[in-house]
Structure 1
Amino acid sequence: MAKFHDRRETQAPARREADLMARLPAVVAAARALPAWRRLLAKVDPATVVDRAALARLPVFRKSDLPALQRTGLPFGGTIPGRPGDYRRLMMSPGPIFEPEAHEEDPWRVARALTAAGIGRRGVILNTFSYHLTPGAWCFDAGARAVGCAVIPAGPGNTDAQLDLIEAYRPDAYAGVPDFLKLILDAGCDRGRDVASIRRAIVSGAAFPPSLQAEFRARGIDAYQLYATAECGAIAYETPAREGMVVNEDIILEILRPGTGDPVAEGEVGEVAVTILDPKKPLLRFALGDLSAVLPGRSPCGRTNMRIRGWLGRADQAAKVKGMFVRPELVAAVLARHRDVARARLVIARAGEADAMTLKAECAAPEPGLSDALAATVRSVMKLGAAIELVPPGSLPNDGKVIEDTRPVG
């Protein structure tokens, strides 16, 4: 089995970046021709979007906006071309978000991740993602067939049937959430069933804590994580190096400060935004609401693309204080009026029987009166009062949090 899916995975980073940027204007133009994107890109000349700095000036399109857009009556909310009959499958994700599958061989770009996990030609994979309405199972099904791997369309649940399938077909690989693989293995052990054929797994859609990773290793299973969404397909995947996740080809990935469209410094935690370079289904600066960070350097496995640390939580940190919602966008609006403040965190707590807010602001050399000015801006923007605490640069945790709610639950 080949170590890499193709030569693109090991190309020089500068060559990859030049290729991505050369293709970007055509994707912006394709998006601008669609109703939903036309409103966002009305003043954008696609020919000028030729590097990451120009891309960063485009508006962010949030996944949370999709359900409302798709209720406009336009096919797919006017975000992608064509009508339902132009696609191979029509599915629905929670939200609801309606997702079409294109006619390409590997439309979700999962094959590369399967190759990295050692899953390929003449293998057999037990696919336990749901084949009912949602895209998950079809993403892995198409990717497996693209690498020449036979697929057992098992779907989730029905443990006894899963054990029958494993003993009959002897799959060497598993696809699904990690928890369900543990359930199958435990059930096989308890019932004296032979599940030893499974030696590899590609897992997604749920947390995969180190304790469960260690348990799979102890059982002789080499498990790999895949970061994917229904809108973007496979975004990043784990490799045998076990150092972060390598970003997929044909994708521009940014890490943004939550509540803004501003890219953060390398290594800083922020919100994942994805641009898919496919004029047939353009996606620009699609903010997923997930937190991650760029992992510096190259992967020891030989792949040269950007790496991320994996899923680090959710960027949606909205909280309700005294009947008012505070959101990361409001913190960003405060900072926009005070350029001498590098970063800030709004801490929400209880003081006696009342909610209380403190804005912790990083500032190298605060001007006199900065605390009072910040307090006035917070009240103007958020319609709530907050104490101000000026702290040295670098003192706030690098965890992507803009709002920290410390109030007890319950």
Structure 2
Amino acid sequence: MTQETVAATSDAVLDREETISRDELEVLQLSRLQHTVAYAYDRVPLYKRKFDEHGVHPTDLRELSDLAKFPFTTKEDLRLEYPFGMFAVPQHEVARIHASSGTTGRATVVGYTKKDLADWAKLVARSLRASGVRPGMKVHNAYGYGLFTGGMGAHAGAEALGCTVIPISGGQTERQITLIQDFKPDAILATPTYLLTIADAMMKQGIDPASTSLKYAVLGAEPWTEEMRHELEVTMNLKACDIYGLSEVMGPGVAGEAVETQDGSHIWEDHFRPEIIDAFDPSVVLGDGEHGELVFTSLTKEALPIIRYRTKDLTRLLPGTARPAHRRMGRITGRSDDMIILRGVNLFPSQIEEIALRIPELSPHFQLELTRPAGQRMDQLTVKIERRESVTVEGVASAAKVLQQQIKIHVGSSCAVDVVEPGSLERSNGKLRRIYDLRPKA
């Protein structure tokens, strides 16, 4: 840890709930969990119906492990209750509404009371502070504003922390660079792939990304690897930390990574109870350290309490470090709905990123194309990836061969590799699309 990082973390004033013991935290969790389950049962028809069908009642929750008796909530539940069927308060008590894009089906709608918004801002502020951001810093917010929770959630948290917020939103990359140059922010909030887009655009303008005023990057909204962290930290001369959240549970700030350890995001368990389940047998709740699907139950939400929400994010729970009472999330290895099954082998985009960024000739910019050639029964995966600017023709051929071999060794499936020219693949303006399914539709 650098002296600057030590200085940034030593003056932090933590919330009381960040410093309590694990035993104290679990007592608080049980009390809040019992209230939330009864509250949801009494106020949300979906939960009353699901609990009754499942043969379980809020009074059955006597200890934390009893949560496993209760049914899951899924994104489909929220879609079926569109638009406001999941709300537990009258409309006049809903202070704000957010929603998903609805590009893969009916949108999911979430609501917040004034207390929900205050809690959300507090937890985002806690996450930013854990990641090195301090009151008085200028924060460049490149998360998208609007119905997406990222922009406004991050904005409110930064203001609650006492920062000066620059609300640029996503896109307009040239203008982003101008404002970073002119306003000299201390921290940037963005998706990791969009920060990479900004760094690349700077280099094309002849600006050294390492020369800016930025010291901290708080990155989320998509899975990213340790290799991507290293790429961004070296390229931009800053400390990069993860922030986790999803709209159905709250938005950004459900968990945040500490800059002094950078070992995974601590889940703020005074407001959320996490579980890990077997993604293929959801009835099995896994122990800490075991990989599976992440499930969340809210403990303090008023407008939209959420019980055992299946996130589809694949990770594991680990003991707390910088915040000992609050367990950490391991790196998200992927989402169950982003998983490619190629000739019987499960594959995630993050696995390709991890392997590719260990090959010096290859850049972090890649796409995965799934095809089924005419007359063949087997699917074909092609990894299209940009070379680095300085790489020769001979270097390209060698790098492609190494990537192909490493994917076969570490993932267990064969693929084609197409190394393309720098700047030829789509760049992120927020969340980046990695998978292009070009197979014929049934």
- TM-score category, normalised to shorter length: 0.7 to 0.9
Mapped to 2, the partners of 1:278 and 1:78 lie a distance apart of 15
**Contact 1:227/1:310 (<8 A) preserved:** no
AA aligned opposite 2:328: R
AA aligned opposite 1:169: F
User: Does residue 65 of structure 1 match 2:77?
Assistant: yes
List 4+ stretches of structure 1 deviating above 6 A: 317-320, 404-409
Give the alignment of 1:133-172 within 5 angstroms.
Answer: 133-172=147-186
- Identity of matched residues, %: 27
User: Does residue 26 of structure 1 match 2:35?
Assistant: yes
Q: In structure 2, do the counterparts of structure 1 residues 67 and 318 end up closer, same or farther at CA, with 3 Å as the change threshold?
A: farther
Secondary structure of 1:284's aligned partner: coil
Structure 2: 5+ residue stretches without partners = 1-7, 342-375, 379-411, 417-436
Give the alignment of 1:299-314 within 5 angstroms.
Answer: 299=321, 301-314=322-335
Match of 2:316 in 1: 293
**Contact 2:158/2:165 (<8 A) preserved:** yes
Match of 2:51 in 1: 41
Deviation at 1:168, TM superposition (A): 2.6
Q: In structure 2, do the counterparts of structure 1 residues 4 and 285 end up closer, same or farther at CA, with 3 Å as the change threshold?
A: farther
**Contact 1:291/1:313 (<8 A) preserved:** yes
Match of 2:97 in 1: 90
Deviation at 1:192, TM superposition (A): 4.1
Structure 1: 5+ residue stretches without partners = 321-352, 356-403
**Contact 1:163/1:193 (<8 A) preserved:** no
Deviation at 1:314, TM superposition (A): 2.2
AA aligned opposite 1:273: V
**Contact 2:143/2:190 (<8 A) preserved:** yes
Q: How many residues align?
A: 327
AA aligned opposite 1:248: W
AA aligned opposite 1:81: V
Give the alignment of 1:7-406 within 5 angstroms.
Answer: 7-33=16-42, 34-42=44-52, 43-70=55-82, 76-83=84-91, 85-95=92-102, 96-103=107-114, 104-107=117-120, 109-193=123-207, 196-218=212-234, 219-233=236-250, 234-239=253-258, 240-249=260-269, 250-258=271-279, 259-278=281-300, 280=302, 281-295=304-318, 297-299=319-321, 301-316=322-337
Q: In structure 2, do the counterparts of structure 1 residues 285 and 306 end up closer, same or farther at CA, with 3 Å as the change threshold?
A: same
Decide which structure has greater helix share: 2
Q: In structure 2, do the counterparts of structure 1 residues 264 and 4 end up closer, same or farther at CA, with 3 Å as the change threshold?
A: farther
Mapped to 2, the partners of 1:279 and 1:94 lie a distance apart of 23
- Over alpha carbons, which structure has the higher Rg? 1
Match of 2:401 in 1: none
Mapped to 2, the partners of 1:317 and 1:112 lie a distance apart of 30
- Higher mean C-alpha displacement, 100-109 vs 310-319: 310-319
Mapped to 1, the partners of 2:413 and 2:208 lie a distance apart of 48
Mapped to 1, the partners of 2:265 and 2:301 lie a distance apart of 26
Secondary structure of 2:84's aligned partner: helix
Q: In structure 2, do the counterparts of structure 1 residues 161 and 406 end up closer, same or farther at CA, with 3 Å as the change threshold?
A: closer
Per-residue deviation, residues 223-280 of structure 1 (Å, max 9, x unmatched)? 1011210122322221121222211131110001124233112221111110111251
Report the TM-score when normalising by structure 2.
0.67
AA aligned opposite 1:37: Y
Deviation at 1:164, TM superposition (A): 2.1
AA aligned opposite 1:162: Q
Mapped to 2, the partners of 1:262 and 1:291 lie a distance apart of 15
Measured on the aligned residues, the alpha-carbon RMSD in Å equals 3.1
Report the TM-score when normalising by structure 1.
0.72
Mapped to 1, the partners of 2:88 and 2:142 lie a distance apart of 29
Q: In structure 2, do the counterparts of structure 1 residues 185 and 50 end up closer, same or farther at CA, with 3 Å as the change threshold?
A: same
Match of 1:401 in 2: none
Deviation at 1:166, TM superposition (A): 1.5
